[in-house]
Amino acid sequence: MDKMNLDEFFKRIGFSGPFEKPDQATLNAIHKRIVMTVPFENLSIHCGEKIGMDHKAIFNKIVREQRGGWCMEGNYLLAWVLRELGYDSVMLGARVTFGNANDPSAPESHLINMVTIDGRRYIADVSFGLSFQIWEPIELVSGKDHTEAAGVFRLIDQDGLWFFEKTSRKQKILNPDLAKSGEKEKKPTEQIYCFTLVPREKDHFTDINHKRQTEPNQLFTTKSITSLQTPTGFRILLGWTYTEVTFRPDEGVDLVDTRDLSDEEVETILREKFNIKLKNKLSPKNNKIGYGV
């Protein structure tokens, strides 16, 4: 396997610089290019492929094979990029609260990065997907609104436990009959995940990375998911259901356009809308576990 290099990575995400120093502007630009070009996806689970935590294997998959990945691929690769560029960064472990009713026994199953620039700390997360995906890093300041096209994100410090939340707009469903299939009703403000500032290493995530792709009756083994941000919103393929969401902040709504696909159309949508061409046959899956866009 050829050596990893930044030029190849930058070509994959369409980043042409300039890069003069590890500053906030460069971090913002790279972060946004990643979420616009590298899908959040778990298709390997449904293609008979194993997801490991080897940087070279992840680089080969995302950069050379034009695939995406989940947080222990996308954010783990970002950790390498940050180090190569000279940023002061550490990995953190987050516990997903969205859909878990803030279960205190839930494991730290989400990998994120914390970057310190000129004394200010930022959370960089390019691998959560859907409407909960930040386009640019969010500053680690409790209660400060971070407004993006998708809505208003913020971090809340509760005695050293940081909660990441989002206030969303109302959704206007263009075809409501299709959109009812297993979606979780959205609340105006929802907690997404929580974390402490204790630095984590790769070994902290190895076990949960294995469990999340092998345990039955949990999100990633019961649903095949592909999500990609666009300049106007995001796209998601959930099993055989394809949805395009258009952010309309000036109107106070998000437009949600959903349609069901045939097996043949799934392959076409992956290629045309996500730039993904799989080597192994995909078995789409969308069992009924609540999961809203």
Catalytic residues: 71, 110, 125
Distance CA 243, CA 292 (A): 11
Count CB neighbours of 186 within 10 A.
Answer: 16
> Please, where are the H alpha helices in the chain?
6-13, 24-37, 55-59, 71-85, 176-179, 203-214, 219-222, 263-274
Rounded alpha-carbon distances, angstroms, from residue 95 to 69, 113, 196, 238: 19, 14, 9, 23
Report the C-alpha dihedral over residues 196, 224, 234, 182, rounded to 10 degrees: -90
The two tokens of residue 26 are 């460069």
Length of the chain: 293
Distance CA 252, CA 258 (A): 20
Pair 125, 113: CB distance under 8 Å: yes
* Look-up of token digits 């045309």: 272
E-assigned strands of the chain? Answer: 40-41, 88-96, 110-117, 120-124, 138-139, 146-148, 151-158, 161-167, 170-173, 189-195, 225-230, 233-238, 241-248, 253-260
The two tokens of residue 226 are 């592909």
Distance CA 172, CA 257 (A): 9
The two tokens of residue 30 are 């790279």
